[in-house]
Amino acid sequence: MRLAVLSDIHANLEALEAVLAHLEAQSHDALVCLGDFVGYGPDPNECIDRLKGQLRAAVVGNHDLAAIGARPIDDFNLFAQEAVLWTRQVLTNTSRDYLAALPERADVEGLLLVHGSPRMPAEEYILDTRTARASFVADGFRIALVGHTHQPALFIERNHRVSARGLLPEVSVPLPPSHRYIVNVGSVGQPRDGDPRASYAIVETEAPSVTLHRVPYPYTQTQGKMQAAGLPVLLGERLALGR
Ligand code: ZN
């Protein structure tokens, strides 16, 4: 099965539409989302509506939990806090119910889906091999799919050793069964690896492999909507930088 994996949409409808259009040209059997549907961006309800009917599975992210009041926001930076408060005001009951029903973990064809890490699903950032190792130890998954850091990456475990590597767009990376993997697919709606293009991945489950895709989108439209909504200027500016 070819699984299209999206994460961290962050209410960016222009980025989401660009990814869905790109996906039409890729063969895939199912679509999943690793959470953070909302937060930061101007179109939370529209992004949920656009995606929810076509998802095989989805898990909840920390911004989704914050937006429905299921998590405190005092550890978020001030811009993120402001965006959460704005999102709470505009979320429809239908969107809130959808986010509230999302699980923290899901399994699709033997792949573990979480937002942050297998060890602390909605919250932990895996940014180094030490943190990745803790999840390899804590959980028996073979391949875990994560987002949350907004930086695509691949962590590989073999004989209790963990290494990390980047993922280049359009390069298929095999995931042979002799090793275990944590695959970070990056962010659709707010990339933070210096590349402003939307990020997503396709994971092949039979002869396992992962291919990252980067898709340009008209972020000036998103910035205009954010300005009109009164969302923090800095959150718009970072879309142009991919930071
Ligand atoms: Zn996020």
* pLDDT tens per residue across span 21-40: 999 999 899 999 999 999 99
CA of 197 from ligand 1 middle (Å) equals 15
pLDDT of residue 23: 97
CA of 84 from ligand 1 middle (Å) equals 12
CA of 192 from ligand 1 middle (Å) equals 10
Q: Which of 205, 60, 84, 85 is nearest to 147 (CA)?
A: 60
3 state DSSP class of 61 = coil
160 vs 32, higher pLDDT: 32
CA of 44 from ligand 1 middle (Å) equals 13
CA–CA dist 112, 117 (Å, integer): 10
Residue 110 confidence class, pLDDT cut points 50, 70, 90: very high
CA of 101 from ligand 1 middle (Å) equals 18
3 state DSSP class of 83 = helix
CA of 187 from ligand 1 middle (Å) equals 7
pLDDT of residue 8: 98
Instruction: Please give the helix or strand (H or E) that residue 136 lies within, else none.
Output: helix 129-138
pLDDT, one tens digit per residue, over 199-210 is 999 999 999 999
CA of 115 from ligand 1 middle (Å) equals 8
pLDDT, one tens digit per residue, over 76-93 is 999 999 999 999 999 999
pLDDT of residue 21: 98
3 state DSSP class of 85 = helix
pLDDT of residue 208: 96
Residue 227 confidence class, pLDDT cut points 50, 70, 90: very high
Mean pLDDT of 121-145: 97
pLDDT of residue 96: 98
CA of 181 from ligand 1 middle (Å) equals 21
CA of 104 from ligand 1 middle (Å) equals 14
In degrees, rounded to 5, the angle at the alpha carbon of residue 237 between the alpha carbons of residues 235 and 241 is 110
Domains and CATH numbers, the chain: 2-240 (3.60.21.10)
CA of 36 from ligand 1 middle (Å) equals 5
CA of 149 from ligand 1 middle (Å) equals 7
CA of 42 from ligand 1 middle (Å) equals 14
CA of 145 from ligand 1 middle (Å) equals 14
Residue 161 confidence class, pLDDT cut points 50, 70, 90: very high
pTM of the model: 0.97
pLDDT of residue 74: 95
CA of 178 from ligand 1 middle (Å) equals 31
In degrees, rounded to 5, the angle at the alpha carbon of residue 46 between the alpha carbons of residues 113 and 26 is 55
CA of 10 from ligand 1 middle (Å) equals 7
Residue 188 confidence class, pLDDT cut points 50, 70, 90: very high
